[in-house]
Amino acid sequence: MLRTQNVPAAARRQTHPTHVRHIVLGLTVAAYMITYMDRVVISNAAPVIQRELGFSLVTMGWILSAFRWGYAWFQVPVGWLGDRIGPRKALTLIVSWWSVFTSATGLAWNAASMLVVRFLFGIGESGAFPIATRSLSRWMLPSERGFAQGITHAGSRLGAALTPALVVYLVAAHGWRLTFVFFGALGLAWAAVWFWYYRDTPALHGSVNEAERDLIHTAIGGARPATSRHVPWRAILSSSTLWVVSMMYFCYGYCLSIYLDWFPTYLRQQRHFALKEMGLFMSLTLAGGILGDAAGGMTSDYLARRSGNLKMARRVVAMTGFLLAGAAIVPATLTASPMMCVWLSCFAMFALELTVGVSWAIPLDIGADFAGSVSAVMNTWGNIGGAISPTVLAYLVRGYGWDVPFVVAASLCVVAALLFLKIDATRRIQAGAAPVQ
């Protein structure tokens, strides 16, 4: 310490910054991967579960929705928890919670028990994205936010893409019940590493040198306390930008849920692929989403740096993604060729996921220290859409066949694109004052 104090300030500033913030980002990417691995296990094991426990399509729809209702209803209180106690403790707590209930899914013996377990699992996962967003708010530079949100969501889709083939193997080798236990153990291991390594601010982390601390503090407006004593809910809920973002994300959540929850079953029942082919093509479709997540965030950041127009940079990328997704979903549904359906669905997922890095960068843009609470409101509405989707699809399929649900999804993509015309990422929510409108 004495040697550091004797070095002139100018020399210390010239020290090359450490990259602890990028390790933090890597841990967050891993958390996102685990969230989606744990939530899509059931959709890929669904055909086996339905056969063993005798669940109808509608019953399975209600079970899939149970997770999303728990996920949606607890977004705000769990997001607030992250702002209140800090993301180090909060993420450790909620990841441990949902990992226990991931494993407990394998203990379910009927529809009611599985519905309860999946609801409790959803409560745990409800805080994942809001608190993870909050965990990055003190670490990532504004010029890195679109990339950070894009790469974290790419991680989630990578987890989802790797899971189908892994689930098919594990179910064949060990049965569906032990498969859930395996995935739950992954989350518990991550929680231990996170609590050991992460700190709520760069100033509290022993591996961050002064150059990196100065870089981060200068970019985000100086060092601030690790937790927020007061969340300005009046200002947050008065933000017109936030409510338009929330409606946009409702549309996105509805569409994404169709692919995450029902696409494997669609490939089996409507396109008549074998179980192994179903796993492969589901992974391939989600791989398109990985590319979209990474490309959308990076493109938006690049446009913002080049143009200096953050509103335009966020809007152009998201609108393009939604419109392309809607344009691809319809022919993917109507084509008679099963393989053409798969390739068009890959492109539709790529385009849909172009919007995600942008959508999650906006809570950081407008919410700053309260990004956890802001993103929780947005994600609540996204997951209300996601919660409605599995049940609505089951009834639509029963009444009208598989085409109608996908046409509805394409229409919602167009609605989301139009809503982005009203979203301005520069309208910062100000604590202690009326929000800038």
Q: CA 255 to CA 249: how far, in whole Å? A: 10
0.85 surpassed by pTM: no
Instruction: Tell me the CATH number at 169.
Output: 1.20.1250.20
For residue 341, give both structure tokens: 């359906």
Q: CA 251 to CA 164: how far, in whole Å? A: 25
Element counts in the chain: helices (H) and strands (E): 20, 0
Identify whether 7 is part of a domain.
Answer: no
Task: Choose among 258, 376, 261, 392: nearest CA to 325.
Answer: 258
Q: Are 317 and 358 in contact (CB under 8 A)?
A: yes
Identify whether 6 is part of a domain.
Answer: no
Q: CA 284 to CA 9: how far, in whole Å? A: 52
- CB atoms near residue 4 (< 10 Å): 9
Q: What share of the chain is helix, strand, coil (3-state, %, to 5)?
A: 85, 0, 15
Identify whether 427 is part of a domain.
Answer: no
Identify whether 280 is part of a domain.
Answer: yes
Identify whether 53 is part of a domain.
Answer: yes
Which residues in 58-180 belong to E strands, given as ranges?
none
The model's pLDDT over 269-325, given as tens digits with 9 standing for 90+, comes to 788 787 777 777 877 887 888 888 778 878 887 888 788 787 788 888 889 999 999
Task: Provide the number of structural domains found in the chain.
Answer: 1
- Mean pLDDT, range 325-332, rounded to an integer: 94
Identify whether 304 is part of a domain.
Answer: yes
**pLDDT at residue 250 in the model:** 94
- Mean pLDDT, range 137-152, rounded to an integer: 74
Q: CA 384 to CA 379: how far, in whole Å? A: 8
Identify whether 4 is part of a domain.
Answer: no
Q: CA 348 to CA 359: how far, in whole Å? A: 17
For residue 34, give both structure tokens: 């685990």
**pLDDT at residue 301 in the model:** 78
The model's pLDDT over 102-128, given as tens digits with 9 standing for 90+, comes to 899 888 888 899 889 999 998 888 878
Range of the domain at 113: 18-422
For residue 154, give both structure tokens: 């790419």
Task: Choose among 414, 396, 366, 406: nearest CA to 142.
Answer: 366
